[in-house]
Amino acid sequence: MKFNTKTIHGGQHHEKVTGSIMPPVFMTSTFAQTSPGKPVGEYGYSRSANPTRNALEDALASIENGTRGLAFASGLAATDSVMKLLKPGDEVIAMDDLYGGSYRMFTQIYQNFGIKFHFVDMTDLKKLESLVNSNTKLVWAETPSNPLMKIADIAEISKISKKHNILFAVDNTFATPYLQKPLDLGADIVMHSATKYLGGHSDVIAGALIVKDKELGKKLHFTQFATGGTLGPMDSFLVLRGIKTLHLRMQRHCENGIKVADFLEAHTLVKRVYYPGLKNHPNHETAKKQMIGGFGGMVSFTFASGKLKDAVLFLENLKVFTLAESLGGVESLANHPTTMAHASLPAEKRADIGITDDMVRLSVGVEDIDDLLQDLEQALSLC
């Protein structure tokens, strides 16, 4: 089955009793038993499994070419279940530029449990490998990264991880499986904030993990069941509905994304544009190799003036783009990483990796490109 068919049919079955095309929203916490320990059907209690969540999980496994998908209450709940595979003394190598909430979880929660984190620019494979030691148990990459759009070479990192017998997890939120399939490139775990492109309509908070290895799938399901970060049936339905149009939306996100990046790059008030589809992007060749069919809808940029005041003026004056947290919905959003998505990174850490106060991150939606460019132009003209 091709990807554009999998988004609609992958892992899906018509409901047995009525033939319903979409799975019913099984709004139930529990399921009747005929005798102690003998449920009427396959289900016992919704924290362990729920038919609507299972329909979504099968769709997730299908679109990422995995054997098992797991749906969580948020992207961070999904990440949390991966971290619970670790024990005190273990070490993790993570991308230096990653979603602020992931950084916050690693440094403010799991570091307290005796897990050590090394943050590194993963475009430098030698540096990455130099951090490996006998305690290294996990490599955590986000590519494209948030908000600098760095591209980590998934195939090369998976070779290093396999050589040293380390689990390799990829946050595939920005690219989605429409553009990039980390499991096919050798990663062990794919993570999503399904709140973003998978859901696609800014109406749900959700997360996902997908794996190829069945034993790893069982372990992660055990953690999910034992610690309870599962996604509810209504939210599962919404993400499943979103996935059905993922390929259509991503195609337009990519078309609009490159046009916005080109527009900004040609603008005199703009200093630097961060978009992996631009030929001058430092990791453009790696992006071309592993992102098939486009480069997504996320674009960051900085101002020629280098001034925070210009970023603020620009963000206050947008009319079609909305200034808001999050990304990946049909509507265009704008974000100021320093005070919003990456506020939880210490200022010196942000400065270190190049997240400046004049940086703006755009989630380019699927609206008419003329309206988007006009909006950017009018907001820039007021800076």
Exposed/middle/buried for 307, CB within 10 Å: 0-12, 13-18, 19+? middle
* Nearest to ligand PLP of 142, 156 (CB atom): 142
Structure letter (DSSP) for residue 357: T
Quick check: 96 binds ligand PLP (CB under 6 A)? no
Is residue 180 classed as helix, strand or coil in its secondary structure?
A: coil
Residue 344 touches ligand PLP, criterion: CB under 6 A: no
Residue 136 vs 173, nearer CB to ligand PLP: 173
Q: Which residues, including other chains, have CB under 8 Å from residue 318's CB and lie 6 or more apart?
A: 334, 375, 376, 379
Distance CA 187, CA 168 (A): 5
Rounded to a whole number of angstroms, the minimum distance from the CB of residue 364 to ligand PLP is: 15
Examine residue 193 and tell whether it contacts ligand PLP (CB under 6 A): yes
The active-site residue out of 53, 137, 150, 196 is 196
Asked if 101 touches ligand PLP (CB under 6 A), the answer is yes
Query: Is residue 195 close enough to count as binding ligand PLP by CB under 6 A?
Result: yes
Q: Is 242 helix (H, G, I), strand (E, B) or coil?
A: helix
Angle at 139 between CA 135 and CA 143, to 5 degrees: 165
- Residue holding tokens 């290093």? 160
**Active site annotation includes 47:** yes
Catalytic status, residue 103? no
What is the residue whose two structure tokens read 């609009």? Answer: 256
Pick the piece of the chain touching ligand PLP (CB under 6 A) from 96-104, 176-184, 267-275, 363-371: 96-104
Rounded least distance, CB 332 to ligand PLP, Å: 16
Q: How far apart are CA 132 and CA 320, in angstroms?
A: 46
| Contact call for residue 136 and ligand PLP (CB under 6 A) | no
Q: Is 197 in the site for ligand PLP (CB under 6 A)?
A: no
356: its two tokens? 């400046």
Which residue in the shown chain puts its C-beta closest to ligand PLP? 75
Which of 3, 26, 31, 99: binder of ligand PLP (CB under 6 A)? Answer: 99
Q: Which of 10, 69, 182, 207 binds ligand PLP (CB under 6 A)?
A: 207
C-alpha–C-alpha distance, residues 348 and 354, integer Å: 10
- The one catalytic residue among 97, 153, 171, 375: 171
Number of residues that bind ligand PLP (CB under 6 A): 14
Across the chain, the runs of DSSP E, i.e. the strands, are 33-35, 38-39, 68-72, 91-95, 116-120, 136-142, 167-171, 189-193, 207-211, 270-274, 298-303, 322-323, 333-335, 360-363
CB closer to ligand PLP out of 156 and 171: 171
CA distance 299 to 285: 17
User: Does the active-site annotation cover 171?
Assistant: yes
- What are the Cα distances from residue 331, in Å, to 141, 196, 197, 240? 27, 11, 11, 19
To the nearest whole angstrom, how small is the minimum distance from the Cβ of residue 193 to ligand PLP? Answer: 3
Contacts to ligand PLP from residues 68-87, by CB under 6 A = 74-76
Smallest distance from the beta carbon of 74 to ligand PLP, in angstroms? 3
Shortest Cβ 280–ligand PLP spacing (Å)? 24
Residue from the set 64, 171, 310, 358 that interacts with ligand PLP by CB under 6 A:
171
Q: Does 300 bind ligand PLP (CB under 6 A)?
A: no
180 binds ligand PLP (CB under 6 A): no
45 noted as active-site residue: no
Phi-psi region of 37 (alpha: psi -120 to 50; beta: other; left: phi over 0): left
Cβ 303 to ligand PLP shortest distance, Å = 23
Residue 39 in contact with ligand PLP, rule: CB under 6 A: no
Q: Which residues pair with 70 in a beta bridge?
A: 209
Of 345, 331, 337, 330, which Cα lies nearest the Cα of 315?
A: 337
Residue numbers of the site for ligand PLP (CB under 6 A)? Answer: 74-76, 99, 101-102, 142, 146, 171, 173, 193, 195, 205, 207
Query: Which residue numbers are catalytic?
Result: 47, 99, 171, 196
